[in-house]
Amino acid sequence: MEHKIAIIAFAGEPACFAHALLNGLDMQARGWEVKLI
């Protein structure tokens, strides 16, 4: 099964964006297609 994920960071705080970025990198390392918005 192919995974396509879009992560949307609503909060403007740097820590929230960093958390979304780290989750995206983890998913990308698993071979999933990830976009961070």
34 bridge partner residues: 5
Question: Whole-model pTM?
Answer: 0.77
- For 12, the domain range is 4-36
- 6-13: list long-range contacts, CB under 8 Å, 24+ apart: 6/34, 6/35, 6/37, 7/34, 7/35, 7/36, 7/37, 8/37, 9/36, 9/37
For 11-36, write each residue's pLDDT tens digit: 778 888 899 999 999 999 999 999 99
Question: What is the domain count for the chain?
Answer: 1
Query: Could you tell me the pLDDT band of residue 2, with boundaries at 50, 70 and 90?
Result: confident
In this predicted structure, what is the pLDDT of residue 25? Answer: 96
In single-letter form, the type of residue at position 36 comes to L
